[in-house]
């Protein structure tokens, strides 16, 4: 069974034509990713936040792998409003593309740089969490989590509470509206809270301990389409899939 036949076929055209199609803000999407949050989470979050329509393609990895540009997932197929099909790949490349498309990437090059500073800073913690907690043997997890909570998070928290205070403690990193920075950080906090190993200490984020970061989290999660996404059946499935895959 040529399961890859079920993968959309990207439109072959020069990059000027594809660049034109990429301007579409009325696109629909097909996501090829496993049934967990993982490297697909921020992409799904950005699509949900922006109100874009998407569907999930059935995964048949052994058969589909050779048909993906980097032999890994996620891959996202965007059908632009003119019918062009664009193939998006590499999770962070997809995230930046979507953030830019949906006005979440700052209003100018300086704001985009600030967004990227925050993204980079948060990603450092996300990677440490991934390697040191998800990546370790289960019997080491509590120890590694407690270490992360006291060695890595306090520095991050102090820096970010201060950055947010500089922007007026309004629940946003830049100006008065959400950007990829807010969404990335909210995503990180959600993930750390959700994947606290059984028996580990409290994750040091809360309304009292980290008021500015908590405001960012609340603002992102209370955005109407975001709130709806998090209540959805699919989101609960992804929660369960995440815990199951990583054995939490």
Residues that bind its own copies (CB under 8 A): 15-16, 18-23, 69-71, 86, 88-94, 96-97, 100-101, 106-114, 116-117, 119-121, 127, 131, 155, 159, 163, 174-175
Shortest distance in whole angstroms from residue 163 CB to its own copies: 7
**Residue with smaller CB distance to its own copies, 20 or 225:** 20
**Cα gap 98→95, rounded to integer Å:** 5
Shortest distance in whole angstroms from residue 169 CB to its own copies: 17
**Residue with smaller CB distance to its own copies, 60 or 116:** 116
Shortest distance in whole angstroms from residue 140 CB to its own copies: 17
In degrees rounded to 5, what are phi and psi of residue 165? -65, -40
Please classify residue 195 by burial: count the beta carbons closer than 10 Å to its beta carbon, then call 0-12 exposed, 13-18 middle and 19+ buried.
buried
**Residue with smaller CB distance to its own copies, 148 or 200:** 148
Shortest distance in whole angstroms from residue 198 CB to its own copies: 27
Instruction: Say which DSSP state 122 is in.
Output: H
In degrees rounded to 5, what are phi and psi of residue 201? -65, 170
**Residue with smaller CB distance to its own copies, 21 or 189:** 21
**Residue with smaller CB distance to its own copies, 108 or 198:** 108
At 122, list the tokens: 């948060």
Residues 216, 177 contacting (CB under 8 angstroms): no
Shortest distance in whole angstroms from residue 236 CB to its own copies: 29
**Residue with smaller CB distance to its own copies, 118 or 200:** 118
**Cα gap 217→186, rounded to integer Å:** 5
Shortest distance in whole angstroms from residue 149 CB to its own copies: 18
Residues 186, 172 contacting (CB under 8 angstroms): no
| Alpha helices (runs of H) in 61-167, residue ranges in sequence order | 61-64, 91-101, 109-129, 141-151, 153-166
Shortest distance in whole angstroms from residue 16 CB to its own copies: 7
**Cα gap 16→247, rounded to integer Å:** 45
**Residue with smaller CB distance to its own copies, 93 or 240:** 93
Residues 114, 56 contacting (CB under 8 angstroms): no
The number of beta carbons lying within 10 Å of the beta carbon of residue 157 is 17
The C-alpha angle 201, 191, 172, rounded to 5 degrees, equals 110
């Amino acid at each position: 069974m040529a399961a890859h036949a079920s993968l959309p076929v990207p439109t072959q055209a020069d990059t000027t034509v594809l660049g034109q199609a990429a301007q579409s803000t009325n696109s629909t999407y097909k996501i090829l990713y496993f049934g967990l949050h993982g490297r697909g989470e921020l992409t799904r979050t950005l699509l949900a936040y922006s109100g874009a329509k998407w569907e999930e393609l059935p995964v048949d990895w052994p058969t589909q792998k050779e048909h993906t540009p980097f032999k890994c997932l996620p891959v996202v197929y965007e059908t632009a409003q003119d019918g062009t099909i664009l193939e998006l790949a590499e999770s962070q490349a997809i995230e930046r593309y979507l953030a830019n498309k949906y006005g979440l990437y700052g209003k100018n090059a300086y704001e985009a740089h600030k967004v990227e500073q925050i993204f980079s800073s948060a990603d450092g913690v996300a990677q440490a969490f991934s390697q040191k907690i998800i990546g370790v043997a289960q019997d080491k997890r509590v120890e590694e989590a407690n270490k992360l909570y006291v060695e890595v998070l306090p520095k991050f928290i102090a820096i970010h509470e201060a950055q947010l205070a500089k922007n007026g403690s309004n629940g946003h990193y830049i100006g008065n509206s959400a950007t990829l920075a807010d969404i990335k950080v909210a995503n990180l906090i959600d993930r750390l809270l959700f994947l606290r190993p059984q028996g580990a200490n409290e994750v040091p984020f809360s309304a009292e301990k980290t008021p500015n970061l908590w405001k960012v989290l609340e603002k992102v999660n209370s955005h109407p389409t975001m709130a709806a996404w998090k209540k959805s059946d699919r989101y609960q499935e992804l929660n369960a899939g995440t815990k199951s895959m990583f054995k939490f």
